[in-house]
């Protein structure tokens, strides 16, 4: 458990945050320039905040009140930077083993072979960073952090410098990191898809303050919390793979309701998380028939949130979990949507993007027990 309390003046606003990161992946979620990087740098010891206190599993990393400051090299935080920051004068293998020279005696070391296998970087070992692609560099950076016997992994937007294809290539490795190593991760991101795939816990930052903290499903399903804008809103459903069909579809069981996705790799029975983008959901008061969309979730309106614009965010309670739907105010009125009203959420299979589907790993609830 990481406990963080920080105050620091930034040019635009004052950072003032308190939060706790339980085991699993905690995503610091917010748009650019809300102080996320400042927080993670202070945790790593790369930035000295004006006031604050950070402790990991009861051990104090710093406390400005007690004038206690542990230098970064004694904190043992495996940091994965946005731009990789591999050492250009060392081979990939030497980069990977760099941290092991400095790991304290008796520390539990990951084995090079296991990490290399997990990240699929075996063929790169003899190369130098200058000869690697962006995605390869980032995988090596993850491996280097893992092999330094870290007590925690800090990842500062590790995918933001990569294109979509490379992001899709790296995300599964963070899922494996979460599910296979048990090392807690603090992950900075401004992408709702990354939150949906990775987060056990989400801490939403806005203008230097913690706006909301909770499990990924709670936070993404909350229509009041949209740190990266209404366009990125979308609730998270937790489901299990039911079966794979011959026509390229995968059927999930989401709380008893079938959900069809473009085919995914996970085996039948494995847990998956699916983010349903709010603007891709159509609402209908009657059970629709003769419709091409395959996914029809029966539900009941929880609440409707409207702002100054033409849109309304409708939160539905369905057997699969909470679903957010973004419709126009005009439609909400025409359908007489109001809390308690029964209606159906319609989601096209092909509107569910691959980057919004992830292996669920140990659920947030299991870890917090």
Which residue, 89 or 245, has its beta carbon nearer to other proteins?
89
Site string for other proteins, 134-153 (x = CB under 8 A): ----------xx--x-----
* Interface stretch with other proteins, choices 26-34, 68-76, 193-201, 204-212 (CB under 8 A): 68-76
Give the residue ranges of DSSP H helices in 122-163: 134-146
Single out the residue of 11, 71, 229, 308 in contact with other proteins (rule: CB under 8 A).
71
Selected from 5, 20, 46, 294, the binder of other proteins by CB under 8 A is 46
Q: Which of 76, 167, 190, 322 binds other proteins (CB under 8 A)?
A: 76
Among 99, 135, 221, 299, binds other proteins (CB under 8 A): 99
Least distance (Å) between residue 149 CB and other proteins: 8
Strand, coil or helix: what is 170?
helix
**Cβ distance to other proteins smaller for residue 146 or 202:** 146
Give the interface segment with other proteins, choosing from 93-101, 108-116, 283-291, 341-349 (CB under 8 A): 93-101
CB of 46 to other proteins, least distance (A): 5
DSSP code string of 183-208: --EEEEE--HHHHHHH-SEEEEEETT
The first and second tokens of residue 235, run together, are: 């609730």
**131 in contact with other proteins (CB under 8 A):** yes
Q: Give the interface size with other proteins as a residue count (CB under 8 A).
A: 31
From residue 95, give the alpha-carbon distance in Å to each of 100, 116, 167, 170, 240: 10, 12, 22, 19, 38
CB of 142 to other proteins, least distance (A): 13
In terms of DSSP bridges, do strands 257-262 and 271-277 run parallel, antiparallel, or are they unpaired? unpaired
Identify the residue among 23, 45, 143, 321 touching other proteins (CB under 8 A): 45
299 forms bridges with which residues in the sheet? 343
The pair of structure tokens assigned to 58 is: 């009861």
CA atoms within 13 A on the CB side of 226: 16
CA 158 remoteness from chain centre: 11
- Whole-number minimum distance, CB 90 to other proteins, in Å? 8
DSSP 60: E
* Helix (H), strand (E) counts: the chain: 10, 21
Instruction: Tell me if 129 contacts other proteins by CB under 8 A.
Output: yes
Looking at the Cβ atoms of 10 and 107, the one nearer to other proteins is 107
Nearer to other proteins, 81 or 187 (CB): 81
**Smallest separation, CB 69 to other proteins (Å):** 13
The contacts of residue 330 (CB under 8 Å, 6+ apart) are: 310
φ, ψ of residue 58 in degrees (nearest 5): 85, -15
Nearer to other proteins, 76 or 197 (CB): 76
Tokens 């990354």 -> residue = 194
The yes or no reply on residue 48 touching other proteins (CB under 8 A) is no
Residue number with CB closer to other proteins (24 or 150): 150
Ordered DSSP codes for 233-279 = -EEEEEEEEEEE-TTSEEEEEETTEEEEEE--SSPTT-EEEEEEEGG
Phi and psi torsions of 19, nearest 5°:
-160, 170
Rank residues 57 and 284 by Cβ distance to other proteins and give the closer one.
57
Q: Closest separation between CB of residue 71 and other proteins, Å?
A: 7
- Nearest approach in angstroms of CB 98 to other proteins is 5
If binding is defined by CB under 8 A, does position 85 make contact with other proteins?
A: yes
321-328 sheet: strands from edge to edge: 281-284, 342-347, 295-306, 311-318, 321-328
Q: How far apart are CA 188 and CA 120, in angstroms?
A: 24
Select from 12, 68, 87, 269 the one that contacts other proteins (CB under 8 A): 87
Phi, psi at 268, each rounded to 5°:
-55, 140
The residues of the shown chain that bind other proteins, judged by CB under 8 A, are: 44-46, 71-79, 81, 83, 85, 87-89, 98-99, 101-103, 128-131, 144-145, 148, 154
């Amino acid at each position: 458990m990481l406990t963080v309390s920080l105050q620091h003046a930034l040019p635009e606003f004052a950072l003032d945050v308190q939060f706790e990161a339980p085991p699993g992946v905690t995503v610091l979620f917010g748009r650019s320039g809300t102080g996320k990087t400042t927080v993670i740098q202070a945790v790593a010891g790369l930035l000295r905040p004006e006031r604050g206190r950070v402790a990991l599993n009861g051990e104090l990393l710093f406390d400005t009140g007690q004038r206690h400051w542990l230098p970064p090299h004694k904190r043992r935080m495996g940091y994965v930077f946005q731009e990789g920051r591999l050492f250009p004068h060392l081979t990939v293998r030497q980069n990977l083993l760099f941290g092991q020279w400095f790991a304290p005696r008796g520390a539990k070391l990951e084995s090079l072979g296991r990490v290399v296998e997990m990240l699929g970087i075996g063929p790169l070992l003899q190369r130098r960073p200058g000869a690697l692609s962006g995605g390869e560099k980032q995988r090596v950076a993850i491996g280097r952090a893992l092999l330094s016997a870290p007590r925690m992994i800090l990842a500062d937007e590790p995918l933001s410098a990569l294109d979509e294809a490379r992001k899709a290539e790296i995300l599964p490795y963070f899922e494996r990191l979460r599910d296979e190593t048990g090392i807690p991760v603090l992950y900075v991101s401004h992408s709702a898809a990354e939150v949906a795939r990775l987060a056990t816990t989400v801490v939403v930052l806005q203008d230097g303050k913690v706006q909301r903290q909770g499990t990924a499903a709670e936070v993404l399903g909350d229509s009041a919390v949209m740190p990266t804008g209404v366009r990125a809103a979308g609730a998270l459903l937790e489901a299990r793979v039911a079966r794979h069909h011959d026509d390229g579809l995968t059927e999930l069981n989401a709380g008893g309701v079938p959900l069809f996705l473009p085919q995914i790799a996970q085996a039948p029975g494995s847990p998956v998380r699916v983010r349903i983008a709010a603007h891709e959901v159509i609402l209908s008061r009657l059970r629709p028939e003769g419709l091409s969309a395959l996914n029809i979730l029966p539900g009941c309106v929880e609440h409707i949130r409207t702002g100054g614009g033409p849109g309304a965010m409708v939160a539905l309670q369905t057997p699969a979990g909470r679903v957010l739907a973004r419709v126009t105010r005009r439609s909400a009125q025409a359908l007489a949507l109001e809390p308690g009203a029964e209606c159906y959420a319609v989601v096209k299979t092909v509107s569910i993007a691959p980057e919004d589907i992830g292996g669920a790993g140990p659920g947030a609830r299991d870890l917090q027990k």
